[in-house]
């Protein structure tokens, strides 16, 4: 799939429609060559104030060769809508984002890609050893400036990382390559800028090397500190991800009182309301205001009520002594309430179920990945959620990437990045 948007993107290193091949020993495409080692690599420029943001975040997702995507570059803003027809690659793009997040948290390759062959582009031709694979990457921005990560994964005949590259301001700070297919390791080299300009060591071929650097790089030289800053920015930008696809059926029934940690399907929404209504009155008031916009009829409050057996059920308080239980609400209303709660609480306020690791609240910008963002929602509900997402994104606490079939309802909206995925 090719991606187009209002924002210009540089040409991809992989021509659309060209067959993909992962060659062991070759670094991922798209980054500059490693500086000659004889004279040592150029010293990475010290980060300056240009383009610096306090909280690391992703500015671009790249799907160089991943399932149906070839040479796709997806710019990411505070609120990004991936638009395209069914089969256009929207879900695949969100899957790639989530995969990078899990790898950044230290998950093994096999856990993240249980069916890797399905992610190899259809027209990818195997090499002489019958090896095929896929390539993905991203660019983060933050205190270390723009940092680019590229990853090449071999899917056949066995799953393994065959190349990884971390680049900042034209300098390759870290890269790996598969030198010996008989060993379950890749040869890694990272920028040092000391007496030895480059440090080399083997790393496992089933994990993201960038996530391992904080444990391997001492940080004694300027070069090492630049490597650490780039790696830590990339990992922090990726790890705060919450894949959210509310399932209305699970929200209607009473749920056990727990820790108030929201699940990806939002089935325990009533339990989360039980917690957040008591802990953050200001945000809850904003949530009730949003409910008035997106729900039919008067809304004085949205709350959870305890029931038998240590359970709670969600309901709308109509303000005249009557209530409407969640079981009576439509699918669109329940999806709207769940997404509004996620957007209004976000990192540092709502303890979402985070399968990709913990990040300090001071550095965290939670990214919500919402497949089928507009499913079951009317135009009024979509626009209000977009307004909430943009407003919360401006504060730096939360970002949202949603997949929709049509974004006409968001035309002209400020703060919305629309990326069209074209077959």
Question: Could you read off the pLDDT of 338-388 as tens digits, one per residue?
Answer: 999 999 886 655 555 444 445 666 667 889 999 999 999 999 999 999 999
The band of 4, judged by pLDDT with boundaries at 50, 70 and 90, is low
- Whether the per-residue pLDDT at 44 is higher than 80: the answer is no
- Whether the per-residue pLDDT at 79 is higher than 90: the answer is yes
- Record the tokens describing residue 227, joined without a space: 């490597």
The band of 280, judged by pLDDT with boundaries at 50, 70 and 90, is confident
Of 143, 133, 166, give the one whose Cα is nearest residue 67.
133
- Whether the per-residue pLDDT at 22 is higher than 90: the answer is no
Count how many Cα atoms sit within 13 Å of the Cα of residue 190 in the half-sphere of its side chain. 27
Domains (range + CATH), the chain: 20-30+52-82+89-240 (no CATH), 244-422 (3.40.50.300)
Confidence (pLDDT) at 360 = 62
Categorise residue 200: left if φ over 0, alpha if ψ from -120 to 50, beta otherwise. Answer: beta
- Whether the per-residue pLDDT at 24 is higher than 90: the answer is no
Quickly list H helices, 156-245.
209-216, 222-239
Residues constituting the chain: 423
Confidence (pLDDT) at 348 = 55
Confidence (pLDDT) at 251 = 95
Question: Could you read off the pLDDT of 147-179 as tens digits, one per residue?
Answer: 999 999 999 999 999 999 999 998 999 999 998
User: Span 324-329, mean pLDDT?
Assistant: 96
The b/e string for 238-262 (b: 16+ C-beta within 10 A; e otherwise) is bbbbbbbbbebebbbebbebeebeb
| Helices 90-104 and 209-216, axial angle in degrees (round to 10) | 20
Q: How far apart are CA 308 and CA 54, in angstroms?
A: 46
Q: How far apart are CA 190 and CA 187, in angstroms?
A: 10
Calculate what percentage of the chain has a pLDDT beyond 70.
Answer: 83
- Whether the per-residue pLDDT at 292 is higher than 50: the answer is yes
Confidence (pLDDT) at 347 = 61
Q: How far apart are CA 248 and CA 368, in angstroms?
A: 18
Q: How far apart are CA 423 and CA 83, in angstroms?
A: 11
Confidence (pLDDT) at 395 = 82
- Record the tokens describing residue 25, joined without a space: 């020993």
Please, what is the average pLDDT of the chain? 84
Of 274, 89, 51, 314, give the one whose Cα is nearest residue 169.
51
pTM for this entry? 0.84
């Amino acid at each position: 799939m090719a991606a187009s948007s209002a924002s210009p993107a540089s040409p991809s290193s992989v021509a659309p429609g060209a067959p993909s091949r992962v060659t062991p020993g070759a670094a991922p495409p798209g980054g500059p060559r490693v500086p000659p080692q004889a004279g040592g690599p150029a010293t990475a420029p010290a980060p300056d104030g240009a383009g610096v943001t306090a909280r690391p975040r992703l500015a671009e997702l790249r799907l160089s060769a991943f399932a149906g995507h070839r040479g796709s570059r997806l710019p990411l803003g505070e609120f990004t809508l991936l638009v395209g027809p069914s089969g256009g690659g929207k879900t695949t793009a969100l899957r790639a984002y989530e995969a990078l997040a899990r790898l950044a948290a230290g998950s093994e390759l096999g856990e993240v890609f249980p069916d890797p062959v399905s992610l190899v582009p259809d027209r990818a031709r195997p090499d002489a050893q019958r090896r095929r694979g896929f390539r993905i990457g991203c660019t983060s921005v933050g205190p270390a400036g723009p940092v680019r990560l590229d990853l090449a994964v071999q899917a056949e005949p066995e799953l393994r990382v065959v190349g990884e590259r971390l680049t900042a301001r034209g300098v390759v700070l870290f890269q790996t390559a598969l030198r010996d297919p008989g060993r379950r390791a890749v040869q890694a080299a990272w920028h040092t800028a000391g007496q030895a300009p480059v440090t080399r060591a083997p790393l496992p071929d089933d994990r993201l090397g960038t996530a391992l650097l904080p444990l391997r790089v001492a940080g004694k030289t300027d070069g090492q500190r630049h490597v650490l800053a780039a790696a830590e920015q990339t990992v922090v930008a990726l790890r705060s991800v919450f894949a959210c696809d509310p399932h209305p059926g699970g929200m209607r029934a009473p749920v056990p009182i727990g820790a108030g940690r929201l699940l990806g399907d939002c089935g325990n929404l009533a339990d989360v309301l039980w917690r957040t209504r008591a802990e953050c009155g200001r945000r809850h008031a904003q949530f009730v205001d949003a409910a008035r916009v997106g729900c039919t009829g008067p809304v004085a409050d949205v709350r959870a009520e305890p029931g038998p057996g240590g359970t709670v059920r969600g309901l709308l308080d109509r303000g005249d002594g009557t209530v409407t239980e969640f079981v009576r609400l439509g699918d669109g209303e329940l999806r709207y309430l769940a997404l509004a709660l996620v957007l209004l609480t976000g990192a540092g306020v709502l303890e979402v179920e985070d399968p990709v690791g913990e990040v300090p609240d001071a550095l965290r910008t939670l990214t919500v990945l919402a497949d089928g963002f507009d499913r079951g929602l009317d135009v009024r509900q979509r626009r209000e959620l977009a307004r909430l997402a943009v407003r919360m994104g401006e504060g730096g606490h939360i970002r949202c990437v949603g997949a929709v079939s049509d974004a006409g309802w968001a035309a002209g909206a400020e703060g919305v990045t629309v990326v069209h995925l074209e077959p």
